[in-house]
């Protein structure tokens, strides 16, 4: 194992640790973040370092502890609320939409909510319908929120601090399949405002994020073998979307494939497609293609789940067809 | 707040003044609603004034208040200027929420008034969180959360009472039991209608109070807040009161009979206190006339202010969706939120 | 008042009354549907006719009574659950998404949920941010649900019965501005599977639904005065979308304006735009235009609220520009 | 169900048989999980068998059961065939949910087994609704809802207990208090840890039961269900038990010490009943050996069945999102859902 190697899980943990050391107003709150060490072991060891007040286990009360995070932010703290998984966040959605995202406006600018909510998202681990939702793109519909989807070690390590610095509520979605991602993170600053061009090519633009960012890169490798050079964009921030990066790429490649683990209809892929059709319509040489999750509750059986969510071969085929047409 | 030193008479006259301000303010609101100066949903507090007046008398300027959509009384008793409230209901830029909130969303960060929630029970978690922030920052203040009998059926009530009790947070849960949730009577909402008993089930101090008796409310609130400040954790008061008017401006009141309303009106908290003060020679007819005069003038000023106040320019439509203070690159942002408390 | 004149409110009430008379398994449950007569007076008089068992007032417990509706449907009833407004439905979203929409699949086809959920939606009445959401298009993202948006007297009267006949969960969104709509409903069958072409024209396709259906028709009148003939589509069913009707129109007009009271980013307007770009790309002579609600919590002040939601002049302008380009 | 007539001995041996089936079945599941035949989340019931065995013994075939993600024991005790359960965990088409549910989502409509919910507390409203449907249709059945101590902190618990109590619905709330919600100890979840007392606060009959004593659970469940069938409305049983294994297959159990686990293992519900039956000469060594043999054979058959069962064709991926029975134009649809009860 080379010097400086880390995992996505450890990078996220380091980011939390650093923030808590750096600012006493920061605390971590959620189900089993303390004694258990975090459902996905992200907060392992933090209870020992910071104690039960700042690494705060909560009862199974999503609405109350997410809302309490909003209140604590209003009271001058900088809470990091962990909702174990996006599947359970629906129980707190009223607090997120009607309070966190809305208070600043309803109060005429008096009450900003400097809150960070972290949650695990995504399918791919045979956890079945109620534990496999990919709703980060759905959350991106809500004005007043910022939505982040770290897909790299650098973003896992670097996005939390600017999120905590942000005066408004920021939701961070960690795809469950990424925690064991490992490598040596590249140094350098991390912003929470721009999409990233992960690879450059002139024939087609592949757009992914979170759980699909890696798959788009693998697809680009496969396409390169066929002589198709792909621009690969990792959106990173799902709200507000960085249109400039997308349009710049489309204006060079004239072909687009959007890859989204969310359900197709009304998913984030639709918004990206609509914006391209609005802002780069005359740049398009072919219809915009979308590779999304089949519109079904995610099934348990491995072969069914694999068939339901976006996979590399489907991305490759979609890109091939886009370029061909 | 109720300082033992302070003479009872002055406490009573302050309670009377606050109740009358609320009553007259809302009576004017009704007229303004008919003349369409005020729009949207408007929920009147008439009949329940003793609750806001009594509870707020027990609070210090540092304390925090989380309210509901039936909040004119809470806001006025908390000291939010009538001018700013009226301008808000007119939808003017000078309103306490810059015209964006209206009757259901009054805010005044400087006075720790964290506003009205139009989602029943939606304010409860905020109150728990504000109290948690105080614990972290060593501020000895009380966060009072007003909510109704109907709100107690929501899951949020259960989660928040448990959380506040579990963590021993300085929250005063002020339940305004006016016997109805819109048109649904208490007994059709709760299997167990003794609400104070229910709250006590979470292991916190809870008791019922005659919500039509302002001094009784003030005493109970003083007792509760002193105990909370002393570190005894959350307290719950069931304030037994009654709504004299319709639930909102659109409610034909099919669910209760006039006789019941009339019976309760005989216990009007304002008449009751006036009678008591008069009997105790704490109040003369002239005092009352003077008080009414001051209040009418205050409300006239508020209406005049709201009438002439400018509206928010449409160009500012998209402001306040995200903060205008840019995140301070590298260093932590200033403690804006604290300025609010 | 001409013979047979009725209102949207009365039409909805008649639909409920008829269903309850016709099938003893049908009952109405929700906050203040009984003694109060319904928050918007839709169920006025039904308590007197059917009694408190079948016109059932519930406590303020959205998660419990919506979930109980799901359970009652599993138990052989045909519940009509009224969630007073869409704003409060977020408290029941977990039950709707993780149970109602998912049980049939998770159980391998054993448990269907013949439930109808009605709610009021939309802005325009100065009710401010927490009472003005338009989330029906957002709900349309969820597989397993059918989403209806009656915009006419005929649909208010006719959609409930087929919704109750449907073996799966159906959500009916009633726009708050429509209850006083009055007129003489045209007789005839009502389906819950097709969009409706409300007006024909060859220059541009205007697509609306629910609260924007009427505005698109008004815009079409204004455009006609300028010599621009618009096809006006009322989507009626938001999930599953009737693509055929939309594509057929686009293939004739080659210009599209989508009008949606939902927020723009990630709203239903995005999905419709994306589908047109996928299925009728080569038919388009101009970028697809979207007229949506500004992405802010809805403000109370009348002039601000009016500026925030789609209005006829904006639709007219968008159509004019689409045709011009 | 526990019929007064039925000899105690046969009741005991049935309880023993069910507990052993659950124990051996799950022990096999652990092996199959290591060999990756079973994937996803898997939550073991080992140590808690007396609860499922005892409660289900009090139910009739017509009754309904709503379960959790920790449901192997509930499903087996309810009579869902081990073959169908095992095939489900293998993700096969012959599984009781056609491979779509897995360990957390077992269903058997024909046996009134309304399946596992992986959203804590998510099954409670379904149980209330099933009971409401029975009331409407004049069916005298009991709906049993299993849930944990942690689930009681969720708002849904509060809303559902109130609703069931308010409407007097035939629901048996079976709270499996195993002292932990994942790694969170009872006292860190609830301000008031006497769970039966909390439930009684809604005005319903509620009492604690030794959840390690199968006959005691069976007796309590019999008493509760008889009372519910007699129209006394919802009942609540706090079944005090303990989870011998990790929360799920991924849990390193940092939150409790081995000694505590060992203490509880001394109260193993199976060992306890075997000892008692042996002492009472209700069970011989041969009986036990025979019983173990039958169970091993049953589980072997289940594994063999699952191994050879075909998988669902990928072409059927999108089935069961919407019903395949077309709505019957004009007339009402057949009572499909009832066939399920
Ligand atoms: C979550 C939610 N459900 C329903 C409503 C509609 N609603 C507004 S006020 C109200 C009654 C609330 O009663 P209560 O809590 O007793 O307060 P009161 O109005 O009596 O002061 C209802 C049902 C709402 N605003 N929020
Ligand atoms: C709403 C929700 N929040 C969190 C989780 C994650 N989770 C699964 S089981 C569990 C603990 C539940 O404890 P309890 O109710 O006592 O049941 P037990 O596991 O002890 O049987 C948690 C937190 C979930 N599945 N659903
Ligand atoms: Mg009330
Ligand atoms: Mg437990």
SS3 state at A128: coil
Q: What is the mean pLDDT of residues A226-240?
A: 98
Q: Residue whose CA is closest, atom 12 of ligand 1? A: B181
pLDDT digits (tens, 9 = 90+) for B232-279: 999 999 999 999 999 999 899 999 999 999 999 999 999 999 999 999
> SS3 for C228?
coil
Closest C-alpha to B143, from B71, B235, B6: B235
State which residue of chain D sits closest to B202, comparing Cα positions: D192
- Alpha-carbon gap, residue B341 to C137, rounded angstroms: 38
CA distance A309 to A306: 6
DSSP-H helix ranges across A44-178: 46-54, 62-74, 86-89, 93-94, 103-106, 136-139, 153-158, 160-165
B283-324 per-position pLDDT tens digit: 999 999 999 999 999 999 999 999 999 999 999 999 999 999
Q: List helix spans (H) across A90-172.
A: 93-94, 103-106, 136-139, 153-158, 160-165
Residue of C31, C62, C154, C261 marked catalytic: C62
What is the per-residue pLDDT for D336? 34
Greater pLDDT, C201 or D7: C201
CB-based contact B180:B243 (threshold 8 Å): yes
Neighbours of B229 (CB within 10 A): 15
Of B154, B188, B311, which has the smallest distance from its Cβ to C303's Cβ? B311
CB atoms within 10 A of CB B325: 13
Rg (CA), chain D: 20
DSSP-derived 3-state class of residue C115: coil
Q: How far is CA D142 from CA B100, B236, D58, D171, in A?
A: 51, 36, 10, 6
- Which pLDDT belongs to residue D334? 35
> How is residue C283 written in tokens?
């038919």
Backbone angles phi, psi at A86, to 5 degrees: -55, -30
Please determine, for residue B327, whether its predicted confidence score (pLDDT) is greater than 80: no
Write the pLDDT tens digit of every residue in A155-206: 999 999 999 999 999 999 999 999 999 999 999 999 999 999 999 999 999 9
Q: What is the pLDDT of residues A279-296, one digit of tens each?
A: 999 999 999 999 999 999
The whole-angstrom distance between B263's CA and the closest CA on chain A is 38
pLDDT at D4 over 70: no
Note the pLDDT tens digit of each residue in D289-330.
Answer: 999 999 999 999 999 999 999 999 999 999 999 999 754 443
Question: Which residues of chain C does D128 touch, with a Cβ-Cβ cutoff of 8 Å?
Answer: 64, 67-68, 71
Query: CA-CA distance, C23 to C33, in Å (whole number)?
Result: 19
Q: Tell me the pLDDT tens digit for each residue of B30-43.
A: 999 999 999 999 99
- Find the CB nearest B155 among D158, D197, D201: D158
Search chain C and give the residue with CA nearest D331. Answer: C165
The interface pTM score, or ipTM, of the predicted complex is 0.97
- Residue C62 among the catalytic residues: yes
Strand order in the sheet with B64-68: B113-117, B64-68, B143-148, B171-177, B235-240, B205-210
Residues of A in contact with D153 (CB under 8 A): 59-61
Nearest by CB to A57, which of D92, D121, D188?
D188
User: Which residues of chain D have a Cβ shorter than 8 Å from any chain A Cβ?
Assistant: 39-41, 88, 91-92, 97, 99-102, 104-105, 117-122, 150-151, 153-155, 181-185, 188-190, 251-252, 254-255, 311-312, 314, 317-318, 321
Indicate if A131 belongs to the active site.
Answer: yes
Beta strands per DSSP E along chain A: 6-7, 26-30, 55-57, 78-85, 116-121, 146-148, 170-175, 182-183, 196-199, 204-208, 230-234, 237-239, 256-263, 289-293
Once rounded to an integer, what is the mean pLDDT over residues D204-222? 98
Question: What is the model's pLDDT at position D2?
Answer: 44
Ligand having the closest approach to the CA of D248: 2
- Indicate the angle between helix axes C62-74 and D155-167, nearest 10 degrees: 60
Name every chain A residue with its beta carbon within 8 A of the beta carbon of B333.
114, 165-167
CA dist., res. B26 & res. B177, Å (int): 20
D114·C22 Cβ contact <8 A: no
* HEC readout, C143-191: CCCEEECCCCHHHHHHCHHHHHHCCCCEEEEEECCCCCCEECCCCCCCC
Q: Count interface pairs B-C at CB distance under 8 A.
A: 125
**Min CA distance, C240 vs chain A (Å)?**
9
Cβ–Cβ gap C72/D321 under 8 Å: no
- What b-and-e string marks burial along B71-97, b requiring 16 or more CB atoms within 10 Å of the CB? bbbbbbbbbbbbbbbbbbbbbbbbbbb
Residues of chain C with pLDDT under 70: 1
D9 pLDDT tier (thresholds 50, 70, 90): confident
Phi-psi group of A182: left, alpha or beta (phi > 0 → left; psi -120 to 50 → alpha; rest → beta)? beta
Whose tokens are 């169900």? That residue is D1
Residue D338: the pLDDT is 34
* pLDDT tens readout for residues B36-84: 999 999 999 999 999 999 999 999 999 999 999 999 999 999 999 999 9
Cα dihedral sign for B105, B106, B109, B113?
A: negative
DSSP per residue, D145-214:
EEEETGGGGSHHHHHHHHHHHHHT--EEEEEEE-SEETTEEHHHH-SS--HHHHHHTTTSEEEEEETT-H
**3-state DSSP call for residue A173?**
strand
Nearest CA distance, A62 vs chain D (angstrom): 8
Catalytic position from the list C10, C31, C82, C131:
C131
* pLDDT beyond 90 at A141: yes
C-chain residues within 8 Å CB-CB of B101? 128-129, 300
Find out whether A165 and B327 touch, Cβ atoms under 8 Å. Answer: yes
C-beta of B47 in contact with ligand 1 (< 6 A):
no
How far apart, in whole angstroms, are the C-alpha atoms of residue B292 and residue B280? 20
CB of B217 closer than 8 Å to CB of B2? no
User: In whole angstroms, what is the distance from residue D120 CA to residue D114 CA?
Assistant: 15
Nearest CA owner, ligand 2 atom 22: D182
Residue B302, CA distances (Å) to B29, B313, D159 in order = 11, 21, 42
Contacts of B311 in chain A (CB under 8 A): none
Contact across the interface for B122 and A94, Cβ inside 8 Å: yes
pLDDT at residue B336 above 60? Answer: no
**Cβ within 8 Å of residue B264, ≥6 positions away:** B47, B212, B242, B244
* Whole-angstrom distance, CA of residue D133 vs CA of residue D131: 5
Is residue B176 lining ligand 1, measured as CB closer than 6 Å?
yes
Summarize pLDDT for C239-293 with one digit per residue, the tens: 999 999 999 999 999 999 999 999 999 999 999 999 999 999 999 999 999 999 9
DSSP state of D319: T
d(C-alpha B78, C-alpha B215), whole Å: 17
CA of A8 to the centre of ligand 4 (A): 30
Report the distance separating Cα B291 and Cα B293, nearest Å.
Answer: 5
pLDDT digits (tens, 9 = 90+) for D135-183: 999 999 999 999 999 999 999 999 999 999 999 999 999 999 999 999 9
Half-sphere exposure of A193 toward its Cβ, with a 13 Å CA cutoff? 7
Out of A31, A82, A131, A203, which one is annotated catalytic?
A: A131
Using the predicted structure, report yes or no on whether residue B332 has a pLDDT greater than 60.
no
CA distance A66 to A63: 6
**DSSP state letter for A185:** P
Q: How far is the CA of B219 from the centre of ligand 3 (A)?
A: 22
Q: Is B220:B240 a contact under the CB 8 Å cutoff?
A: no
- At B229, is the secondary structure helix, strand, or coil? helix
Beta-bridge partners for D66: D145
Phi and psi (nearest 5°) for D210? -70, 105
Helix axis angle for B49-57 and B214-227, nearest 10°, is 40
- Is residue B339's pLDDT more than 90? no
C-contacting chains (≥3 CB pairs under 8 Å): A, B, D
Residues D176/D147, Cβ–Cβ less than 8 Å:
yes
Mutate to test the pocket of ligand 2, among A38, A60, A83 (most ligand atoms within 8 A of CB): A60
pLDDT of residue B330: 38
For residue C2, what pLDDT is reported? 77
pLDDT value at residue B3: 46
Distance separating alpha carbons of residues D134 and B273, to the nearest angstrom: 53
Above 90 in pLDDT, residue A325?
no
User: In which band, very low, low, confident or very high, does the pLDDT at D286 lie, cut at 50, 70 and 90?
Assistant: very high
As for ligand 2, residues whose beta carbon falls within 6 Å of it are: A 31, 60, 84, 88, 91; D 70, 118-120, 148-151, 176, 178, 180-182, 247
For residue C240, say if its preceding peptide bond is cis, omega within 30 degrees of 0: yes
């Amino acid at each position: 194992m080379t010097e400086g190697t880390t995992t996505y899980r450890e990078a996220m943990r380091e980011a939390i640790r650093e923030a808590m050391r750096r600012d006493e107003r920061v605390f971590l709150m959620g189900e089993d973040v303390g004694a258990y060490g975090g459902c996905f072991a992200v907060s392992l060891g933090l209870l020992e370092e910071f104690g039960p007040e700042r690494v705060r286990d909560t009862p199974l009360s999503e609405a109350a502890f997410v809302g309490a995070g909003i209140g604590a932010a209003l009271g001058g703290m900088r809470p990091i609320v962990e909702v174990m998984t996006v599947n359970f966040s629906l129980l707190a959605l009223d607090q997120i939409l009607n309070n966190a995202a809305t208070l600043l406006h309803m109060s005429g600018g008096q009450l900003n909510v400097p809150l960070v909510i972290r949650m695990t998202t995504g399918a791919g681990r045979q956890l079945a319908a109620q534990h496999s939702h990919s709703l980060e793109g759905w959350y991106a519909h809500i004005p007043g929120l910022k939505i982040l989807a770290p897909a790299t070690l650098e973003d896992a390590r670097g996005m939390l601090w600017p999120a905590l610095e942000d005066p408004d509520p920021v939701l961070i979605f960690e795809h469950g399949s990424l925690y064991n991602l490992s490598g040596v993170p590249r140094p350098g600053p991390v912003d929470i405002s721009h999409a990233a061009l992960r690879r450059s090519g002139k024939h087609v633009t592949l757009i992914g994020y979170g759980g699909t960012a890696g798959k788009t890169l693998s697809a680009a490798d496969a396409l390169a073998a066929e002589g198709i050079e792909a621009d690969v964009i990792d959106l990173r921030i799902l709200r507000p979307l960085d249109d400039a990066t997308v349009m710049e790429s489309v204006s060079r490649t004239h072909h687009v494939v959007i890859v989204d683990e969310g359900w197709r209809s009304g998913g984030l892929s639709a918004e990206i497609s609509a914006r391209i059709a609005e802002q780069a319509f005359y740049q398009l040489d072919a219809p915009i293609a979308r590779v999304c999750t089949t519109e079904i509750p995610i099934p348990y059986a491995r072969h069914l789940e694999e068939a339901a969510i976006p996979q590399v071969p489907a991305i490759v085929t979609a890109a091939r067809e886009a370029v061909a047409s | 707040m109720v300082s033992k030193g302070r003479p009872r008479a002055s406490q009573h006259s302050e309670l009377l003044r606050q109740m009358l301000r609320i009553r007259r303010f809302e009576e004017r609101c009704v007229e303004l609603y008919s003349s369409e100066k005020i729009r949207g949903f408007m929920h009147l507090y008439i009949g329940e004034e003793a609750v806001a007046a009594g509870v707020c008398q027990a609070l210090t300027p540092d304390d925090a208040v989380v309210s509901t959509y039936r909040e004119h009384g809470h806001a006025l008793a908390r000291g939010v200027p009538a001018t700013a409230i009226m301008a808000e209901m007119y939808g003017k830029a000078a309103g306490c929420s810059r015209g964006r909130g209206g009757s259901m969303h009054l805010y005044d960060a400087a006075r720790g008034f964290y506003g009205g929630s139009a989602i029943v029970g939606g304010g409860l978690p905020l109150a728990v969180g504000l109290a948690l922030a105080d614990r972290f920052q060593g501020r000895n203040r009380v966060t009072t959360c007003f909510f109704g009998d109907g709100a107690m059926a929501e899951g949020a009530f259960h989660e928040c009472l448990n959380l506040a009790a579990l963590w021993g947070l300085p929250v005063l849960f002020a339940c305004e039991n006016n016997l109805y949730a819109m048109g649904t009577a208490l007994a059709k909402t709760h299997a167990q209608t003794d609400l104070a008993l229910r709250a006590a089930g979470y292991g916190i101090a809870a008791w019922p109070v005659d919500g039509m008796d302002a001094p009784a409310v003030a005493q109970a609130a003083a007792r509760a807040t002193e105990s909370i400040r002393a570190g005894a954790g959350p307290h719950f008061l069931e304030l037994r009161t009654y709504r004299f008017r319709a639930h909102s401006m659109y409610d034909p009141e099919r669910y209760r009979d006039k006789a019941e309303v009339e019976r309760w009106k005989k216990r009007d908290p304002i008449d009751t206190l006036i009678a008591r003060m008069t009997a105790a020679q704490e109040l003369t007819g002239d005092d009352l006339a003077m008080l009414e005069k001051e209040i009418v003038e205050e409300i006239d000023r508020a209406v005049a202010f709201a009438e002439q106040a400018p509206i928010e320019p449409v160009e500012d439509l998209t402001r306040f969706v995200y903060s205008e203070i840019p995140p301070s690159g590298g260093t932590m942002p200033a403690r804006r939120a604290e300025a609010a408390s």
